[in-house]
A and B are shown apart, each in its own frame.
Chain A
Amino acid sequence: MSTVLLLLITGVGLGALYFLVASGLSLIYGLMGVLNFAHGSFLTLSGFLGWEVGRRVGDGTWLGLVVGMLVGLVAGALVAAITELVFIRRLYNRHIEQVLVTVGLGLASVALFEGIWGSDPIQISVPGWLRETTEILGSHIPNDRWLLIGAAVVVLALIVLFLQRTSYGLVIRAGVENRTMVTALGIDVRRAFTIVFAIGGAAAGLGGVLASVYFGTVSAHQGTSLLIYAFIVTVIGGLGSLSGAAIASVLVAVIQQFANYYWGIGDLAIVLALAVVVLVRPTGLMGKVKH
């Protein structure tokens, strides 16, 4: 029982991390039809910048971590918005070029990060409580999972509030459904594109800092490896569906944890889950056929 609970909660914690990356990816694809392979770079850069600033403010302290998270959030949003404005805006509806540019950005940025911070993972310090565990029904749950879950819940709530309560949120919800018709109502949907990129980048940036807490390291390849799982989550949840991304994040991570623990085949299990969803329900769990 305690093992099951441990796997379940740590799975939800890992799912929270996947969600932070996948939420932006899903919204960006849903609104703009852009498969953003540079999304992992937003995460990695934010992770490094958050760590650099955080350790100067207070290495291994809560203040340092919170400042690092804020830096990651802002850095992710800025880099994503600049990427959209400089590279992606010229390439809407040119899908091959989008893939080439974002893959190129992803590869080039990893090389750049290796040049600056080296290719080996760097150990980081975190507040002591995050290295401890909390006992629940006999299970010792690592405390950093609570931080991940809390952050993902807050991010999900803020994105939902933004989408439901603001005029740009309305444009984004409509644009995910039928972008052409939004422009035919006289709305400049490009502003919404930049905002969605910034939101996605901010979530990924926060995810970058929290990923370094989860793994205990920052590395130039952190974004690339998480991006693969985020794409799987995005496809399983349904491209463009925020709720789908949330459900699929938890589902994928929990399956991965259980399959890893009992059979050592976590990655194989989620690839099989992806194959089943693509074959049985090509639009994903919560995805809809677009106009």
Chain B
Amino acid sequence: MSAILTARGLSARIAGQQVVEDVSFDVAAQGVTALLGRNGVGKSSTIKALLGLTERTGEVTFDGTRIDRMLTHRIVRQGIAYVPEDREVFSQLTVEENLRLAERDGAPNRAIIGELFPELLERARQQAGTLSGGQQQMVSLSRALMNENRLLLVDEPTKGLAPLIVGTVTKALQAAAERMPMLLVEQNLQVVRDLAHTVIVLSGGRVVHTGPAAEFLDSELVHRHLGVSTDTEAA
């Protein structure tokens, strides 16, 4: 399968400390590629490095264009949407203001918010900081999905959410994956099983495994690289 994004020799530093070292991987041009690994292994830092949100070196190519020397806002405007860990909604702004801020290029697809998260429309004037974690995740996802993008980077979308909300978020991600490829960081392996075609596994800041998701999740590699058994499937 062709790649929409390639990273070669990508390294990242945060506050002077090396958090990702010489990582190379491809993100498929279709479907969901999951980036897995134990806590603190550098998954979120890898995504941030792709977007230029951390100090980084290495070569990153997006759909044939080098983006590793671009500023973050220019990378995003190439068509890469980002759903950060911990949602990072603007808590002092209303839901409507959060969405308006994310609108790009004149023709945002507001209808998709009504389809995926109708309750957000009822809460348009509510301050985002007063929303539940699940509702904040809906805002965060809506910000990414309402624009025409060519790649979605999603970091721990179900972290800290109630099981019912995990289902809603997973369905929204499934719908999004039909429209654009996705690089997903996720600890909940059931969600990975539901969404991902391919997995990239990080350990010690390096890629240690790449391959089909189902094959990996059914193998003893899950225990070796993620420290969980295939019975429990929760890292």
Q: Please tell me which one of the listed residues B53, B73, B91, B92 contacts residue A189 in the complex, with CB atoms under 8 A apart.
A: B73
Q: Please tell me which one of the listed residues A170, A177, A184, A291 contacts residue B72 in the complex, with CB atoms under 8 A apart.
A: A184
Kindly identify, within residues 21 to 47 of chain B, every residue whose CB is under 8 Å from any CB belonging to chain A.
none
Tell whether, in the assembled complex, residue A180 and residue B53 are in contact, meaning their CB atoms are under 8 Å apart: yes
Bound-state Cα–Cα, A186 to B143, Å: 11
Q: Does A96 contact B (CB under 8 A)?
A: no
CB B127 to nearest CB in A, in angstroms, measures 12
Residues of B within 8 A of A184 (CB): 51, 53, 72, 76, 82, 84
Q: Please tell me which one of the listed residues B90, B97, B147 contacts residue A181 in the complex, with CB atoms under 8 A apart.
A: B90
Q: Does B102 contact A (CB under 8 A)?
A: yes
Assuming the A-B contacts A170-B101, A180-B53, are A186 and B73 also in contact, with contact meaning beta carbons closer than 8 angstroms in the complex? yes
Assuming the A-B contacts A180-B53, A183-B71, A185-B101, are A174 and B93 also in contact, with contact meaning beta carbons closer than 8 angstroms in the complex? yes
CB B226 to nearest CB in A, in angstroms, measures 27
Q: For chains A and B in complex, what number of residue pairs have CB atoms within 8 angstroms?
A: 53
Q: Does A178 contact B (CB under 8 A)?
A: yes
Assuming the A-B contacts A170-B97, A170-B100, A174-B101, are A185 and B143 also in contact, with contact meaning beta carbons closer than 8 angstroms in the complex? yes
Nearest residue, chain A, Cβ from B52: A183
Residues of B within 8 A of A17 (CB): none
Residues of A within 8 A of B223 (CB): none
Residues of A within 8 A of B147 (CB): 186
Q: Does B215 contact A (CB under 8 A)?
A: no
CB B81 to nearest CB in A, in angstroms, measures 9
Residues of A within 8 A of B69 (CB): none
Tell whether, in the assembled complex, residue B84 and residue A181 are in contact, meaning their CB atoms are under 8 Å apart: yes
CB B131 to nearest CB in A, in angstroms, measures 15
Residues of A within 8 A of B125 (CB): none
Tell whether, in the assembled complex, residue A178 and residue B73 are in contact, meaning their CB atoms are under 8 Å apart: no
Q: Does A161 contact B (CB under 8 A)?
A: no
Chain B proximity mask over A153-183: 1 for CB below 8 Å, otherwise 0: 0000000000000000011011001101111
Kindly identify, within residues 133 to 188 of chain B, every residue whose CB is under 8 Å from any CB belonging to chain A.
143, 147
Residues of B within 8 A of A268 (CB): none
Bound-state Cα–Cα, A186 to B147, Å: 11
Q: Does A120 contact B (CB under 8 A)?
A: no
Q: Does B104 contact A (CB under 8 A)?
A: yes
Nearest residue, chain A, Cβ from B102: A185
Tell whether, in the assembled complex, residue A291 and residue B88 are in contact, meaning their CB atoms are under 8 Å apart: yes
Bound-state Cα–Cα, A130 to B8, Å: 69
Q: Please tell me which one of the listed residues B82, B92, B100 contacts residue A177 in the complex, with CB atoms under 8 A apart.
A: B92
Kindly identify, within residues 183 to 197 of chain A, every residue whose CB is under 8 Å from any CB belonging to chain B.
183-189
Chain B proximity mask over A106-124: 1 for CB below 8 Å, otherwise 0: 0000000000000000000
Residues of A within 8 A of B102 (CB): 185
Q: Please tell me which one of the listed residues B53, B73, B84 contacts residue A187 in the complex, with CB atoms under 8 A apart.
A: B73
Tell whether, in the assembled complex, residue B92 and residue A173 are in contact, meaning their CB atoms are under 8 Å apart: yes
Bound-state Cα–Cα, A189 to B143, Å: 17
CB B73 to nearest CB in A, in angstroms, measures 5
CB A2 to nearest CB in B, in angstroms, measures 42
Q: Does B77 contact A (CB under 8 A)?
A: yes
Residues of A within 8 A of B90 (CB): 173-174, 177-178, 181
Assuming the A-B contacts A170-B101, A173-B93, A180-B53, are A188 and B73 also in contact, with contact meaning beta carbons closer than 8 angstroms in the complex? yes
Interface residues of B (CB under 8 A from A): 51, 53, 71-73, 76-77, 82, 84, 88, 90-93, 97, 100-102, 104, 143, 147
4 nearest A-B pairs in the assembled complex, by CB-CB distance: A186-B76, A183-B72, A174-B90, A186-B77
Q: Show 15 residue pairs from A and B whose CB-CB distance is below 8 angstroms, ordered by the A residue.
A: A170-B93, A170-B100, A170-B101, A171-B101, A173-B90, A174-B90, A178-B90, A181-B88, A184-B51, A184-B72, A184-B82, A185-B143, A186-B73, A186-B76, A188-B73
